[in-house]
Protein backbone atom coordinates (compact mmCIF):
# COMPACT_ATOMS: atom_id res chain seq x y z
CA UNK A 1 0.00 0.00 0.00
CA UNK A 2 1.32 3.40 -0.88
CA UNK A 3 1.53 6.03 1.80
CA UNK A 4 -1.68 8.00 2.04
CA UNK A 5 -0.03 11.41 2.09
CA UNK A 6 -2.22 14.44 1.96
CA UNK A 7 0.35 16.79 0.42
CA UNK A 8 -1.23 16.95 -3.05
CA UNK A 9 -4.66 15.59 -2.40
CA UNK A 10 -7.85 17.44 -3.21
CA UNK A 11 -9.54 18.80 -0.17
CA UNK A 12 -12.99 20.03 0.49
CA UNK A 13 -13.63 22.01 3.61
CA UNK A 14 -16.30 20.68 5.90
CA UNK A 15 -16.97 23.14 8.74
CA UNK A 16 -18.48 21.96 12.13
CA UNK A 17 -18.57 24.43 15.03
CA UNK A 18 -18.69 23.28 18.74
CA UNK A 19 -20.26 26.01 20.49
CA UNK A 20 -20.22 25.99 24.13
CA UNK A 21 -23.67 26.52 25.47
CA UNK A 22 -23.49 28.10 28.84
CA UNK A 23 -26.22 26.96 31.18
CA UNK A 24 -26.85 27.91 34.76
CA UNK A 25 -27.05 25.04 37.19
CA UNK A 26 -30.57 24.01 38.05
CA UNK A 27 -29.74 23.19 41.65
CA UNK A 28 -31.81 24.94 44.25
CA UNK A 29 -28.81 25.38 46.52
CA UNK A 30 -27.64 29.00 46.95
CA UNK A 31 -24.32 30.04 45.51
CA UNK A 32 -22.13 32.98 46.39
CA UNK A 33 -19.35 34.05 44.06
CA UNK A 34 -16.74 36.44 45.37
CA UNK A 35 -14.69 37.41 42.36
CA UNK A 36 -11.82 39.25 44.05
CA UNK A 37 -11.95 38.74 47.83
CA UNK A 38 -10.02 41.33 49.76
CA UNK A 39 -9.62 39.15 52.81
CA UNK A 40 -9.06 35.45 53.10
CA UNK A 41 -10.79 33.43 55.76
CA UNK A 42 -8.69 31.31 58.11
CA UNK A 43 -9.54 28.20 56.16
CA UNK A 44 -8.00 29.65 52.99
CA UNK A 45 -5.71 26.97 51.55
CA UNK A 46 -1.99 27.46 51.59
CA UNK A 47 -0.85 27.70 47.94
CA UNK A 48 1.19 24.77 46.73
CA UNK A 49 2.84 23.95 43.44
CA UNK A 50 0.58 22.49 40.76
CA UNK A 51 1.71 18.94 40.24
CA UNK A 52 -0.44 17.31 37.57
CA UNK A 53 -2.97 18.24 34.85
CA UNK A 54 -5.13 15.24 35.72
CA UNK A 55 -8.22 15.39 37.91
CA UNK A 56 -8.15 13.07 40.88
CA UNK A 57 -11.13 11.82 42.88
CA UNK A 58 -10.98 11.54 46.67
CA UNK A 59 -12.88 8.71 48.29
CA UNK A 60 -14.04 9.24 51.87
CA UNK A 61 -13.59 12.35 53.97
CA UNK A 62 -14.86 12.45 57.58
CA UNK A 63 -16.18 15.68 59.03
CA UNK A 64 -15.40 17.26 62.36
CA UNK A 65 -18.59 15.91 63.94
CA UNK A 66 -17.91 12.31 62.83
CA UNK A 67 -20.45 12.44 60.00
CA UNK A 68 -19.06 10.80 56.86
CA UNK A 69 -19.71 10.92 53.13
CA UNK A 70 -18.14 9.59 49.96
CA UNK A 71 -16.87 11.73 47.08
CA UNK A 72 -16.55 9.34 44.15
CA UNK A 73 -16.07 11.79 41.29
CA UNK A 74 -14.95 15.37 40.67
CA UNK A 75 -14.98 17.06 37.27
CA UNK A 76 -14.50 20.46 35.67
CA UNK A 77 -17.02 21.60 33.06
CA UNK A 78 -18.30 24.70 31.32
CA UNK A 79 -21.84 23.29 31.07
CA UNK A 80 -23.96 21.40 33.59
CA UNK A 81 -27.45 19.92 33.42
CA UNK A 82 -30.39 20.66 35.70
CA UNK A 83 -28.98 18.28 38.34
CA UNK A 84 -25.56 19.93 38.39
CA UNK A 85 -23.89 17.06 36.50
CA UNK A 86 -21.20 17.99 33.94
CA UNK A 87 -22.37 17.84 30.33
CA UNK A 88 -18.87 17.83 28.86
CA UNK A 89 -15.91 17.30 31.18
CA UNK A 90 -12.66 19.11 30.46
CA UNK A 91 -9.35 20.22 31.93
CA UNK A 92 -8.93 23.07 29.43
CA UNK A 93 -11.29 26.04 29.24
CA UNK A 94 -11.50 28.95 26.85
CA UNK A 95 -9.62 32.13 27.71
CA UNK A 96 -12.97 33.94 27.51
CA UNK A 97 -15.01 31.35 29.42
CA UNK A 98 -17.98 32.98 31.12
CA UNK A 99 -18.67 30.09 33.48
CA UNK A 100 -16.62 27.28 34.98
CA UNK A 101 -18.13 24.60 37.21
CA UNK A 102 -16.47 22.32 39.71
CA UNK A 103 -18.87 19.37 39.81
CA UNK A 104 -18.73 17.06 42.83
CA UNK A 105 -20.55 13.71 42.91
CA UNK A 106 -21.13 12.77 46.54
CA UNK A 107 -22.96 10.05 48.48
CA UNK A 108 -24.20 10.26 52.06
CA UNK A 109 -23.98 14.04 52.37
CA UNK A 110 -26.38 15.69 54.80
CA UNK A 111 -28.68 18.60 53.91
CA UNK A 112 -27.03 21.97 54.40
CA UNK A 113 -23.46 20.65 54.25
CA UNK A 114 -21.28 23.54 53.03
CA UNK A 115 -19.24 23.19 49.83
CA UNK A 116 -16.60 25.77 48.94
CA UNK A 117 -14.21 26.17 46.00
CA UNK A 118 -11.23 28.52 45.86
CA UNK A 119 -10.21 29.44 42.30
CA UNK A 120 -6.47 30.05 42.05
CA UNK A 121 -4.27 31.74 39.44
CA UNK A 122 -0.51 31.40 39.87
CA UNK A 123 -0.98 30.51 43.57
CA UNK A 124 -3.20 33.55 44.18
CA UNK A 125 -6.88 33.18 45.08
CA UNK A 126 -8.93 35.04 42.46
CA UNK A 127 -12.42 33.81 43.32
CA UNK A 128 -14.58 31.78 45.64
CA UNK A 129 -17.73 29.70 45.08
CA UNK A 130 -20.10 28.38 47.75
CA UNK A 131 -23.02 25.95 47.71
CA UNK A 132 -25.10 24.00 50.22
CA UNK A 133 -26.08 20.35 49.83
CA UNK A 134 -29.80 19.72 49.44
CA UNK A 135 -31.93 16.87 50.81
CA UNK A 136 -31.27 13.73 48.74
CA UNK A 137 -32.82 11.01 50.96
CA UNK A 138 -29.58 9.05 50.83
CA UNK A 139 -29.23 9.11 47.05
CA UNK A 140 -25.98 10.18 45.36
CA UNK A 141 -26.10 13.76 44.13
CA UNK A 142 -24.12 16.30 42.15
CA UNK A 143 -23.11 19.62 43.67
CA UNK A 144 -21.94 22.22 41.13
CA UNK A 145 -19.83 25.17 42.29
CA UNK A 146 -19.95 27.93 39.70
CA UNK A 147 -17.28 30.53 39.02
CA UNK A 148 -17.64 33.46 36.61
CA UNK A 149 -14.24 34.94 35.75
CA UNK A 150 -14.46 38.76 35.78
CA UNK A 151 -11.63 38.98 33.25
CA UNK A 152 -10.06 36.89 30.49
CA UNK A 153 -8.00 33.93 31.64
CA UNK A 154 -4.32 33.74 30.72
CA UNK A 155 -2.97 30.87 28.58
CA UNK A 156 0.45 31.09 30.25
CA UNK A 157 -0.91 31.04 33.82
CA UNK A 158 -1.28 28.05 36.15
CA UNK A 159 -4.86 27.56 37.30
CA UNK A 160 -6.30 25.35 40.01
CA UNK A 161 -9.44 24.99 42.07
CA UNK A 162 -9.37 23.77 45.66
CA UNK A 163 -12.39 21.97 47.10
CA UNK A 164 -13.51 22.12 50.73
CA UNK A 165 -16.49 20.29 52.22
CA UNK A 166 -17.67 21.21 55.70
CA UNK A 167 -14.56 23.42 56.04
CA UNK A 168 -12.21 20.49 55.37
CA UNK A 169 -9.88 20.46 52.38
CA UNK A 170 -10.58 17.61 49.96
CA UNK A 171 -8.17 18.14 47.08
CA UNK A 172 -6.79 20.57 44.52
CA UNK A 173 -7.58 20.16 40.81
CA UNK A 174 -5.63 21.88 38.07
CA UNK A 175 -6.78 23.15 34.68
CA UNK A 176 -5.50 25.30 31.83
CA UNK A 177 -6.83 28.21 29.81
CA UNK A 178 -6.65 28.46 26.04
CA UNK A 179 -6.97 25.97 23.21
CA UNK A 180 -4.18 23.61 24.17
CA UNK A 181 -1.76 21.95 21.76
CA UNK A 182 -3.51 20.87 18.51
CA UNK A 183 -0.84 18.19 18.04
CA UNK A 184 -2.27 16.47 21.12
CA UNK A 185 -5.92 17.01 20.16
CA UNK A 186 -6.71 13.46 18.99
CA UNK A 187 -6.39 11.04 21.87
CA UNK A 188 -7.75 7.97 20.04
CA UNK A 189 -8.81 7.19 16.46
CA UNK A 190 -9.97 3.82 15.10
CA UNK A 191 -12.72 1.90 13.36
CA UNK A 192 -14.54 0.91 16.54
CA UNK A 193 -17.95 0.37 18.08
CA UNK A 194 -17.32 2.99 20.78
CA UNK A 195 -15.11 3.92 23.73
CA UNK A 196 -14.93 2.40 27.20
CA UNK A 197 -14.89 4.30 30.50
CA UNK A 198 -11.11 4.72 30.17
CA UNK A 199 -11.51 6.37 26.77
CA UNK A 200 -10.06 3.42 24.85
CA UNK A 201 -11.77 2.26 21.63
CA UNK A 202 -13.73 -1.00 21.77
CA UNK A 203 -14.56 -3.44 18.99
CA UNK A 204 -11.62 -2.26 16.87
CA UNK A 205 -11.30 -3.66 13.35
CA UNK A 206 -9.20 -2.86 10.28
CA UNK A 207 -10.82 -5.07 7.62
CA UNK A 208 -14.26 -4.87 6.01
CA UNK A 209 -16.02 -6.95 3.33
CA UNK A 210 -16.80 -5.26 0.01
CA UNK A 211 -20.54 -5.54 0.70
CA UNK A 212 -20.35 -3.75 4.08
CA UNK A 213 -23.23 -1.29 4.35
CA UNK A 214 -21.31 1.26 6.42
CA UNK A 215 -17.88 1.96 7.86
CA UNK A 216 -17.76 3.98 11.08
CA UNK A 217 -14.53 5.74 11.96
CA UNK A 218 -14.41 7.18 15.49
CA UNK A 219 -12.12 9.68 17.18
CA UNK A 220 -11.88 10.92 20.75
CA UNK A 221 -10.69 14.47 21.36
CA UNK A 222 -8.36 14.86 24.32
CA UNK A 223 -9.54 16.57 27.50
CA UNK A 224 -6.29 18.53 27.40
CA UNK A 225 -7.52 20.78 24.59
CA UNK A 226 -10.54 22.98 23.97
CA UNK A 227 -11.98 21.96 20.56
CA UNK A 228 -14.49 24.82 20.36
CA UNK A 229 -14.36 26.28 16.85
CA UNK A 230 -12.04 23.59 15.50
CA UNK A 231 -12.97 21.93 12.20
CA UNK A 232 -12.62 18.16 11.87
CA UNK A 233 -12.99 16.34 8.56
CA UNK A 234 -11.89 13.05 7.01
CA UNK A 235 -10.41 12.13 3.63
CA UNK A 236 -10.82 8.53 2.47
CA UNK A 237 -8.29 7.07 0.03
CA UNK A 238 -7.81 3.96 -2.06
CA UNK A 239 -4.05 3.98 -2.51
CA UNK A 240 -3.49 7.66 -3.39
CA UNK A 241 -6.91 8.24 -4.97
CA UNK A 242 -9.44 10.25 -2.96
CA UNK A 243 -12.73 8.35 -2.87
CA UNK A 244 -14.69 10.26 -0.21
CA UNK A 245 -14.60 13.30 2.04
CA UNK A 246 -16.77 13.42 5.16
CA UNK A 247 -17.44 15.68 8.10
CA UNK A 248 -18.44 14.33 11.53
CA UNK A 249 -21.87 12.91 12.27
CA UNK A 250 -24.17 14.96 14.48
CA UNK A 251 -23.31 14.57 18.16
CA UNK A 252 -24.12 16.04 21.56
CA UNK A 253 -20.54 15.46 22.71
CA UNK A 254 -17.94 17.44 20.81
CA UNK A 255 -15.16 15.22 22.14
CA UNK A 256 -16.54 11.96 20.73
CA UNK A 257 -16.64 12.13 16.94
CA UNK A 258 -17.83 9.59 14.39
CA UNK A 259 -17.58 9.61 10.60
CA UNK A 260 -19.88 7.19 8.75
CA UNK A 261 -19.13 6.11 5.19
CA UNK A 262 -21.77 4.12 3.30
CA UNK A 263 -19.94 2.69 0.28
CA UNK A 264 -22.92 0.84 -1.19
CA UNK A 265 -20.69 -1.97 -2.44
CA UNK A 266 -18.79 0.38 -4.77
CA UNK A 267 -15.35 -0.05 -3.21
CA UNK A 268 -13.24 -2.80 -4.81
CA UNK A 269 -11.03 -4.93 -2.56
CA UNK A 270 -7.66 -3.47 -1.71
CA UNK A 271 -5.78 -1.23 0.71
CA UNK A 272 -7.40 1.98 1.93
CA UNK A 273 -6.73 4.69 4.49
CA UNK A 274 -8.68 7.44 6.23
CA UNK A 275 -6.96 10.69 7.19
CA UNK A 276 -8.37 12.77 10.05
CA UNK A 277 -7.78 16.48 9.50
CA UNK A 278 -7.90 19.21 12.13
CA UNK A 279 -8.37 22.66 10.61
CA UNK A 280 -7.11 21.28 7.30
CA UNK A 281 -3.96 19.70 8.77
CA UNK A 282 -3.54 15.93 8.99
CA UNK A 283 -3.74 14.88 12.64
CA UNK A 284 -4.02 11.10 12.28
CA UNK A 285 -4.09 8.51 9.49
CA UNK A 286 -5.54 5.01 9.92
CA UNK A 287 -5.13 2.30 7.25
CA UNK A 288 -7.80 -0.33 6.60
CA UNK A 289 -8.60 -2.99 4.02
CA UNK A 290 -11.58 -3.92 1.87
CA UNK A 291 -11.78 -7.67 1.25
CA UNK A 292 -13.95 -9.76 -1.07
CA UNK A 293 -17.64 -9.53 -0.27
CA UNK A 294 -19.01 -12.21 2.00
CA UNK A 295 -21.83 -13.25 -0.32
CA UNK A 296 -20.87 -12.19 -3.88
CA UNK A 297 -17.62 -12.29 -5.88
CA UNK A 298 -15.52 -9.17 -5.41
CA UNK A 299 -15.50 -8.46 -9.16
CA UNK A 300 -19.25 -8.94 -9.63
CA UNK A 301 -20.48 -5.98 -11.68
CA UNK A 302 -24.12 -7.01 -11.94
CA UNK A 303 -26.75 -4.47 -11.06
CA UNK A 304 -27.26 -0.79 -11.68
CA UNK A 305 -24.18 1.42 -11.51
CA UNK A 306 -24.14 3.50 -8.37
CA UNK A 307 -22.02 6.12 -6.67
CA UNK A 308 -20.82 6.46 -3.08
CA UNK A 309 -23.47 7.66 -0.64
CA UNK A 310 -21.35 10.71 0.15
CA UNK A 311 -22.06 12.11 -3.34
CA UNK A 312 -25.29 13.49 -4.82
CA UNK A 313 -24.30 12.40 -8.33
CA UNK A 314 -26.45 9.77 -10.06
CA UNK A 315 -25.83 7.64 -13.15
CA UNK A 316 -28.92 7.84 -15.40
CA UNK A 317 -27.65 5.99 -18.49
CA UNK A 318 -24.61 4.04 -19.71
CA UNK A 319 -24.13 3.26 -23.42
CA UNK A 320 -21.37 1.23 -25.10
CA UNK A 321 -20.75 2.61 -28.61
CA UNK A 322 -18.09 3.01 -31.29
CA UNK A 323 -18.49 6.79 -31.73
CA UNK A 324 -19.03 9.76 -29.38
CA UNK A 325 -19.38 13.50 -29.93
CA UNK A 326 -16.01 15.19 -29.47
CA UNK A 327 -17.54 18.13 -27.59
CA UNK A 328 -20.31 16.67 -25.42
CA UNK A 329 -19.11 13.03 -25.22
CA UNK A 330 -22.68 11.96 -26.06
CA UNK A 331 -22.93 8.67 -28.00
CA UNK A 332 -23.19 9.13 -31.80
CA UNK A 333 -22.91 5.52 -32.93
CA UNK A 334 -25.29 2.64 -32.33
CA UNK A 335 -25.60 1.14 -28.89
CA UNK A 336 -23.50 -2.03 -28.76
CA UNK A 337 -24.50 -5.06 -26.71
CA UNK A 338 -22.53 -7.73 -28.64
CA UNK A 339 -19.28 -7.27 -30.58
CA UNK A 340 -18.36 -9.96 -33.09
CA UNK A 341 -14.75 -9.83 -34.23
CA UNK A 342 -11.88 -12.07 -35.22
CA UNK A 343 -9.62 -13.04 -32.34
CA UNK A 344 -6.68 -10.75 -31.52
CA UNK A 345 -8.17 -7.85 -33.50
CA UNK A 346 -8.67 -4.48 -31.81
CA UNK A 347 -11.42 -1.88 -31.91
CA UNK A 348 -12.03 1.51 -30.31
CA UNK A 349 -15.12 1.36 -28.12
CA UNK A 350 -16.57 4.07 -25.90
CA UNK A 351 -18.64 3.82 -22.76
CA UNK A 352 -20.72 7.00 -22.57
CA UNK A 353 -22.10 7.58 -19.09
CA UNK A 354 -24.81 10.17 -18.34
CA UNK A 355 -24.44 11.55 -14.81
CA UNK A 356 -26.58 14.15 -13.04
CA UNK A 357 -25.48 16.49 -10.23
CA UNK A 358 -21.82 15.74 -10.85
CA UNK A 359 -19.35 18.04 -9.07
CA UNK A 360 -15.63 18.56 -9.47
CA UNK A 361 -15.00 16.63 -6.24
CA UNK A 362 -16.74 13.49 -7.53
CA UNK A 363 -14.76 10.61 -9.02
CA UNK A 364 -16.24 8.45 -11.80
CA UNK A 365 -14.57 5.04 -11.78
CA UNK A 366 -15.12 2.44 -14.52
CA UNK A 367 -14.00 -1.13 -13.98
CA UNK A 368 -13.52 -3.47 -16.97
CA UNK A 369 -13.73 -7.18 -16.25
CA UNK A 370 -12.80 -10.06 -18.54
CA UNK A 371 -14.76 -13.31 -18.21
Give domain status of residue 266, yes or no.
yes
Higher pLDDT, 370 or 100: 100
| Residue 219 shares a structural domain with residue 110 | no
Comparing CA positions, the residue from 189, 184, 185, 261 lying closest to residue 219 is 189
- Final residue before a domain boundary, out of 158, 177, 196: 177
Give domain status of residue 267, yes or no.
yes
CB count within 10 Å of CB 7 equals 6
What are the tens digits of pLDDT across the range 19-37? 332 333 333 333 333 443 4
Three-class SS of residue 184? helix
Q: How confident is the model at residue 141 (pLDDT cuts 50, 70, 90)?
A: very high
| Residue 152 shares a structural domain with residue 250 | no
Give domain status of residue 110, yes or no.
yes
- Final residue before a domain boundary, out of 150, 177, 204: 177
What are the tens digits of pLDDT across the range 54-105? 343 444 444 344 578 999 899 999 999 999 999 888 888 888 889 999 999 9
Give domain status of residue 125, yes or no.
yes
What are the tens digits of pLDDT across the range 318-333? 888 878 776 677 888 7
| Residue 141 shares a structural domain with residue 249 | no
| Residue 189 shares a structural domain with residue 173 | no
Give domain status of residue 272, yes or no.
yes
| Residue 95 shares a structural domain with residue 128 | yes
Comparing CA positions, the residue from 23, 27, 56, 13 lying closest to residue 234 is 13
| Residue 197 shares a structural domain with residue 241 | yes
Instruction: Give the distance, in angstroms, between the CA of residue 208 and the centroid of all CA atoms in the same chain.
Output: 22
Q: What is the pLDDT of residue 149?
A: 95
pTM over 0.75: no
What is the extent of the structural domain holding 278?
A: 182-291
| Residue 156 shares a structural domain with residue 282 | no
Q: What is the mean pLDDT of residues 116-137?
A: 94
- Final residue before a domain boundary, out of 120, 143, 177: 177
Give domain status of residue 6, yes or no.
no
Q: What is the mean pLDDT of residues 118-133?
A: 95
Q: What is the mean pLDDT of residues 282-304?
A: 66
| Residue 113 shares a structural domain with residue 210 | no
| Residue 160 shares a structural domain with residue 190 | no
| Residue 235 shares a structural domain with residue 334 | no
CA distance to 15, 91, 168, 248, per residue, from 105 (Å): 36, 17, 16, 31
Q: How confident is the model at residue 143 (pLDDT cuts 50, 70, 90)?
A: very high
| Residue 336 shares a structural domain with residue 251 | no
Amino acid sequence: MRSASTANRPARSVAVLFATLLLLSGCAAPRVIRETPTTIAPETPTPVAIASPTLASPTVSPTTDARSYTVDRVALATRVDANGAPIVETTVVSETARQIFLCVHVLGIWPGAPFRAYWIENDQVIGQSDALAIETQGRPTWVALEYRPPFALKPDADYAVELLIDNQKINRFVFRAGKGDPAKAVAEAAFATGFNTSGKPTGVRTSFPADATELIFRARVSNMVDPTGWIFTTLWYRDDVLVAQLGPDETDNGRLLSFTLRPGGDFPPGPYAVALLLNGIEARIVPFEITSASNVPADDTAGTPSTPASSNARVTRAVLTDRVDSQSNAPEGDEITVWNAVGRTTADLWLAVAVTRLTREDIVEIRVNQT
